Amino acid sequence: MARESESGLPIEPVYGPDDLTGWDPGRKLGAPGAYPYTRGVYPTMYTGRPWTMRQYAGFGTAAESNARYRQLIAHGTTGLSVAFDLPTQMGHDSDAPLAHGEVGKVGVAIDSVEDMRVLFDGIPLDQVSTSMTINAPAALLLLLYQLVAEEQGVPADRLTGTIQNDVLKEYIARGTYIFPPKPSLRLTADIFKYCTAEVPRWNTISISGYHMAEAGASPAQEIAFTLADGIEYVRTAVAAGMDVDDFAPRLSFFFVARTTLLEEVAKFRAARRIWARVMREDFGARNPKSLMLRFHTQTAGVQLTAQQPEVNLVRVAVQALGAVLGGTQSLHTNSFDEAIALPTDRSARLALRTQQVLAYETDVTATVDPFAGSYAVERLTDEVEEAAVGLMRRVEDLGGAVAAIERGFQKAEIERNAYRIAQETDAGERVVVGVNRFQLDEEEPYEPLRVDPAIEARQAERLAALRAGRDQGAVAAALDALRKAAEGTDNVLYPMKEALRARATVGEVCNALREVWGSHVPSDAF
């Protein structure tokens, strides 16, 4: 009896040549590093060097997170990935009433350039690649990073890394938005222009399907809605007067890796093929780098369990293997205790060691695209591609990603799939080891990492000292210049940088933009 994939596609017990009848390998596959990039974006992939090993980390104060980053670098991490707390993600200072109880809890608290300076103390920014998971206030955190680099004597053209900067998926699946979609897209275009001129090696956006998957999206939904958002960003930049080949090479993507290894490999291959075709045929991109879907992967946090948490080590290893076999450019492996609390030093190190075992003890890096030509994987790739393209057409029929978001289409589709998954799990049709099968009568005790609640008071003290010691007139003038740019058509990043240099806080800068652009109110109309 055939099983169904996560996308609801049939998985047959056996695949053979008849399943690829009429299949043209030249059109569907190509060579690694060549159009349509099904087999990977680079000719040699991991045979030249392994993927970038990032570990997503950040909690408490900037000083505590800095200590964790130094440990990860010492253990062999090749790229940093910064987690920010919810107040920072929402553009509020740590002493704002709305921030109460959340300071430093799910990431590091960053209120000003002084916090950013501490966060990267002793870490040479010209020698490390930094990814920052920040969206609505992404421009601010990038500029704070650039200001710290300037203090280190590092020119902007030496900085490498990524800001997530994908606000559209916030409206769909995650919720840490600030401004309405249209000014948010204007801000994205300003970031593209700024980085093209000032920070040319920086990846200006990481268009994310990960959070949609965490909210319940199927693999087909994940890539369909992510690529539809990508199309909207490209249209916005082109409409702002940019040439597609000036910014498209710096676009990147962010996907999940689930335990369903075969479909995940197929998903990554299908996503590359769709994006290459869209960029060449719909946008007329000529630079081969504009056609390449380069992506970061994180193992599936939503699949981790608080029950028998050590089993998560096995899940993460399988998920990471799927990401590698699918051709990821960088990878974060979740720690086994993340369903319980923030990772401990030991669990974070084990997560990194999982990547290192894959890279240096297995043979998956010995050849490019090991699954190419697999009857099962090639058939699944075609089927995931077909399902994703069908969903992308539905988004286009609604007027594009923003129009579909405003009608609640993507959110409703994901919620329906999440409900289906929950029903199957509750009924025992979907096995979750340790949860609905193979349970223990009594769970073993586990001591989690806890964030000191006194952090909030300490951050408030730092903010009070900062405000008392800065030039208030300079801050006010800089914020006025920012409002004026937001009201007009000038690039807001230049006055924003000067406001941050004058030690305006993240909350003050975001509030200045809220005064001009307003705040987003979600719709459940669809």
Per-residue model confidence as pLDDT tens for the chain (526 residues): 568 999 999 999 999 998 987 778 777 889 999 999 999 999 999 999 999 998 888 888 999 999 999 998 998 887 899 999 999 999 999 999 999 999 999 899 999 999 999 999 999 999 999 999 999 999 999 999 999 999 999 999 999 999 999 999 999 998 999 999 999 999 999 999 999 999 999 999 999 999 999 999 999 999 999 999 999 999 999 999 999 999 999 999 999 999 999 999 999 999 999 999 999 999 999 999 999 999 999 999 999 999 999 999 999 999 999 999 999 999 999 999 999 988 888 999 999 999 999 999 999 999 999 999 999 999 999 999 999 999 999 999 999 999 999 999 999 999 999 999 999 999 999 999 999 999 999 888 877 777 788 999 999 999 999 999 999 999 999 999 999 999 999 999 999 999 999 999 999 999 999 999 999 987 665 5
Task: Give the 3-state secondary structure of residue 30.
Answer: coil
Question: In the chain, what is the greatest distance between 2 CA atoms, to the nearest angstrom?
Answer: 74
Q: Are strands 202-203 and 205-208 parallel, antiparallel or unpaired?
A: unpaired
The neighbour count for residue 481, using CB atoms within 10 Å, is 18
Residue 524: predicted pLDDT: 60
Spatial distance between the Cα atoms of 446 and 2, rounded to a whole number of angstroms: 40
The CATH 3.20.20.240 domain(s) of the chain lie at 51-362+377-427
Spatial CB neighbours of 483, under 8 Å, sequence gap ≥ 6: 512, 513, 515, 516
Q: Is 414 exposed, middle or buried, given 0-12, 13-18 or 19+ CB atoms closer than 10 A?
A: buried
Q: In the prediction, which pLDDT does 525 show? A: 54
Which candidate, 517, 478, 470, 506, places its Cα nearest to that of 142? 506
Quickly count: other Cβ atoms within 10 Å of residue 454's Cβ.
10
Does the CA dihedral 320-326-327-329 come out positive or negative?
negative
Tokens of 253: 């993507």
SS3 332: strand
C-alpha to C-alpha distance for 416 and 412, rounded to whole angstroms: 6
Among candidates 222, 220, 254, 260, which has minimal Cα distance to 382? Answer: 220
Read off the pTM. 0.92
**Unique residue bearing structure tokens 């590359």:** 272
The two tokens of residue 67 are 């200590």
Write the CB contacts of 353 (distance below 8 Å, at least 6 apart in sequence): none
H or E segment and range at residue 295? strand 295-299
CB proximity list for 23: less than 8 A, separation 6 or greater: 378, 382
Return d(Cα 78, Cα 375) in angstroms, integer: 35
Q: Which residue has the tokens 């350039």?
A: 113
Task: Could you please state the CATH topology (level 3) that the domain comprising 51-362+377-427 is classified under.
Answer: TIM Barrel (3.20.20)
Query: What's the CA gap between 145 and 141, in Å, rounded?
Result: 6
CA-nearest of 236, 228, 238, 212 to 275 is: 228
pLDDT at 28: 84
Name the token pair of 64: 């505590």
Q: Which residue type does 422 have?
A: A
Residue the block writes with tokens 């669990």: 347
